[in-house]
Each structure stands twice: as structure tokens, then as C-alpha cells.
Chains A and B, each alone.
Chain A
Amino acid sequence: MADKAEKRPLDEAELDRLFEAARSAAPAPSDALLARVMAEAEAEMPVAHVAPAPPARRRGWLAGLIAGVGGWPAAAGLVGAAVTGVAIGVASPQALERLSGGYLSPGGYALENLMPSYAGMLGEG
């Protein structure tokens, strides 16, 4: 390398062109290498996350009853109907007696005679 000292070192631009050539000459991985890397990726891959089902809770008897009639909306309907029935019974409106005619009071009984305790208890009738 006697002439090494006599030569001018490469300048920045000349070196840059070498780096550029090196970048475009990077070795391409073989298909076999890519296949090995992919096989290891699959072997090491964590199992896909699936949200675990919440643990089944024990239901109380009331919750079971409500669910049995169709849930809270259905239960609300049932309660509403029951309250209406009681109100009609207690008030025993005339219209209802006329409507039912002799069927409800064939022997001259008024509707309140069927449940006197209600009438007495509530002080009505």
C-alpha cells in the first residue's frame, strides 16, 4: 500500500455514493429463512385473547320468580293488573254491577256482599 499515502482520501460525497450503493445491495433473505422465522412466530404466538365468560351467579328466589314471568317489565305489568283488580273490587262501581247483571248477584247480592270483610276493613261501601 505504498500509494495509499499518495492518494487523496475520499470526500464526503464520494463516501455517500458508496453508502448508497451498499444500501441497494443489501442481501435478500432466502425463502427458507423467511419460512423458519414465520414458523417460529407461529410457534411462539400467544393464543388470541377471548374475553372469558363472567362466572354464573347464584340467583335468589325472588330473582328466579321475576325471571320466570319474563323479567322486571313483565312483573311490573302483573303488579299493575293485580292492583287494578283490588281497586275495582273495593270500589265496586255501579257500572260493573250493571254490566255483570244477574250473573254476579243472582240472589240479590251486591258485589260487596261477596267480600264483606274488605268493605268493613276499609270502612267503605
Chain B
Amino acid sequence: MATFNIGKLFKYLILSVLAIIFLMPIYVIIVTSLKPLSEVSLESMWALPTAIDFSSYAEAFQQLAPNFMNSIYLVIPATLISALLGAMNGYVLSKWRFRGANTIFTFILFGMFIPYQSILIPLIQFLRTVDLYNTIPGLILVHVVYGLPITTLMFRNFYANIPDTMIEAAKIDGASFLGIFRHIIVPLSITGFVVVAIWQFTNIWNEFLFAVTITTSDQQPIMVALQNLSGSQIVQWNVQMAGALLAALPTLLVYIFLGKYFVRGLLAGSVKG
């Protein structure tokens, strides 16, 4: 084992080459966004900047800041409400099963896979009727509703691991439906809440289709503003790169610091309970 191991070296080599390829886009984002306009050219995309210049960040920030705040106002309530509703649904569907509970669960779950194009036209008509079109509360409502399937699924899977005997014991002790939820389920599902919240935060922050169809100009979340920035002919691509990094920063930070929970969410969303 202590001897030189060709096989192992080969494996490292493949992984390292792939890793470098995977990191190249990030390299381009960072390097380009730190260049002054005079050094931004098609030929020198891969070259390091001669001096670090933050002016593209200043400009990207100036253009994107209002939309960044829109996204914050959208993502925090939408995440909290959808997590809370999902927890309640998951609790009912795993610990208070009734005849047809599985059918209702599948009925809800289907909503997670539909192409949202197939509900978009009525949704917009509905939002216009209730005066929520082109508002952040309108988008919050949309993300809460269409987030229900995934949050319900995640909490239901999570609660399946809490032994039924615990619930039965509490019932015998006279605990009520809400009492059990508050005193047993919630304290045991802190991790579950973290996983679901991170998942919802990432998805809602990154979402584009609802954002671009339900809001216009000053109500638009960050991803729509970033797309507008990159589509604009006037803005140089060092600014676009800086904008891309600013827009990606919150979810990247979440991934860097809470990556473990992010991956758990990713797995929970795809594997049956």
C-alpha cells in the first residue's frame, strides 16, 4: 500500500482535470468582474487583470440593488410560509394517516413536476383579478402554493423517521393534535426545517419563469434583472459577470456554509420516503 500506486494517481488525475473544467466558469466570472473596462476584450478573456478594479461591481450593484432587495422581500416570507405549511401537511400525512391519505399525497405531489407554463395563463388572470399581479405579495403567494408539494414531501419523509410509538404515547397522555406538533414534532424537526428552508430559499431565489411573467420593471426579482443586464447591448460583460456573481452570492454562501443540508434537501426531493 505504501508503494507508488499508479491506479490511484490515475484516478486523481481524472478527477483533477474534471474539477478544473468545472471551475473554469467561476474563474472567468471572478477574473472578468475584477478587470477595468480597458482590459475587457474577447482575446484576453482568460488573462488575469493587471490591477484589481471593483468598478464593475459598483456598476452592477447600482443596477441590481433594487431587484436584489425585491428578491429578499420575496424569498424570506415565501420560504417561511411554505416550510410551515409543508411541516403541517407532512405531519398529518405521516402521523395522522387516514383512508386515502396516500392518494391525497400523490395528488399534491404531482404539482411539483408540472411545467409551470401549463398554469401560467390562468394564474396571471387570477392575480390580475385579485390585484396581486406585478406585486411581491403576488409572487410570494405563487411560490407558497407551488412550493407546497416539495415541502410536504420533504417533511413527510422526515417525519417518517420519528417513531409512531412516540406519538401514540403522547396521545395516551392526552396530548392533542396541535400539542403533539408543538411539543414533540417541531423540536425534533429543527434539521428538517433547516433542510427545507435552504431548499426553498435556493429555488425561489433562482426562479425565473414566474418572476419574468408576473412582475415588470421595478417589482422584478434579481434573476430577471440579471437577464435584462446580460441582454442589454450597452452594458459591458465585466459588469454582467459582476452582476452574475452578485446574483449568485446568497445561494453560493448558503451552499458554502450549509452545503451538507443543501445536499440532503436535494436527495430528499427525489427519493421516496
Do the two shown chains form a genuine complex with each other?
no
